[in-house]
Amino acid sequence: MAGPRVFVARKLPGTALERLGARTAMRLWEAPLPPPRDVLLAEARDAEGLLTLLTDRVDRELLEGSLVLRSVSNMAVGFDNIDVATCTARGIAVGNTPGVLTDTTADFAFALLMAGARRVVEGDRFVREGHWKTWDPGLLLGQDIHGATISIAGMGQIGQAVARRAHGFGMRILYTDEIPRPEIDQATGATRVDKDTLLREADFLTLHVPLTRETRHFIGARELAMMKPASLLINTSRGPVVDQAALAEALRAGQPGGAALDVTEPEPIAMDDPLLALPNVIIAPHIASGSRVTRAKMADMAVDNLLAGLRGERPPHCVNPEVFT
């Protein structure tokens, strides 16, 4: 097929790639693992468009080696894998996929919260290992969710969707954010607090900040030491937002009481990571936005962004609109 040359870094769910293939000279990396670095660099050299995933690093080296690139579309809401400043300096549009995954991701954050609070994964292991002998009034006792305090770090779209769920569960809601969010305060009774209060008061602390230089290790040894012994940390943002070594240490010492993580550093987590040896930790393989419907929508959105950038138009969801001013 004639048209602009684009490279797509993985097969995507749904029918989005059929549309892209019909409009471009598409080269598709079909293997289940991400393209190795040398392949990505070589493909980027002559591509006008790149459709990437959060596993693909679009950094200065790649951008400086690219001859005709003008549209980069990341199939994720997060874009910490992309050097946006260098893209902007080179006039390359960058798109992402916000909005469509908000509720799906919030559902999963809540699934982790509930699974951790009520020890669902430990219970499943207990049964499969043949330990279930009788109804036991003291067996696998967990924490109540209703009436508990949920602390939400980052009250963007996903944080707000988590707050709405928490409100439905009768929780007290605290949050930190750069700006006040009066609408969510009014809708859910949420209260904006300082970081120390967020940590001290949490029965559940859930992270919804993007990964930036400022939020790297936003939760470290100091922060973990401020949490209640029985509290649970939930992370569906990015692994490096938490200092993972400090978390393992803190969990071993019993404060906080558990963690439920959809993201780790690195991804995949090393099989000898101390977190994997702890019974009070749940780890999922970065699947929070992974419903069939949402992933197909994300793929469609990523294709729409890519095509707009190739036409020289501002992508519908653009993280560097200044390219078009």
Residues annotated catalytic, as ranges: 238, 267, 286
Closer to ligand GLV at the Cβ: 34 or 78? 78
The closest of 52, 28, 2, 1 to 309, measured between CA atoms, is 52
The number of residues making up the chain comes to 325
Residue 284 contacts ligand GLV per CB under 6 A: no
Residue 210 contacts ligand GLV per CB under 6 A: no
Neighbours of 136 (CB within 10 A): 9
The closest of 158, 147, 63 to 110, measured between CA atoms, is 158
Residue with tokens 């050299």: 45
Name residues whose C-beta falls within 8 Å of residue 72's C-beta, 6 or more positions apart in sequence. Answer: 49, 50, 52, 58, 82, 87, 92, 93, 94, 95, 306, 309
What's the first-to-final CA gap in the chain, in angstroms?
32
SS3 234: strand
Nearest distance from residue 287's CB to ligand GLV, in Å? 9
Closer to ligand GLV at the Cβ: 54 or 261? 54
Contact 145, 114 (CB under 8 A): yes
* Total interface residues for ligand GLV by CB under 6 A: 6
Nearest distance from residue 33's CB to ligand GLV, in Å? 18
Angle of helix 120-128 relative to helix 102-117, nearest 10 degrees, comes to 60
Nearest distance from residue 323's CB to ligand GLV, in Å? 21
The DSSP line for 129-166 is TT---S--TTTT-----TT-EEEEE--SHHHHHHHHHH
Contact 317, 301 (CB under 8 A): yes
Nearest distance from residue 320's CB to ligand GLV, in Å? 17
Closer to ligand GLV at the Cβ: 109 or 171? 109
Nearest distance from residue 6's CB to ligand GLV, in Å? 20
Nearest distance from residue 55's CB to ligand GLV, in Å? 10
d(CA 91, CA 299): 23
- Site for ligand GLV, residues 21 to 60, rule: CB under 6 A: 54
Closer to ligand GLV at the Cβ: 181 or 297? 297
d(CA 306, CA 16): 11
Residue 289 contacts ligand GLV per CB under 6 A: yes
Q: Based on the number of CB atoms within 10 Å of its own CB, is 120 exposed (0-12), middle (13-18) or buried (19 or more)?
A: middle
- Site for ligand GLV, residues 71 to 110, rule: CB under 6 A: 76-78, 101
Closer to ligand GLV at the Cβ: 87 or 101? 101
Closer to ligand GLV at the Cβ: 289 or 305? 289
Q: Which residues bind ligand GLV (CB under 6 A)?
A: 54, 76-78, 101, 289
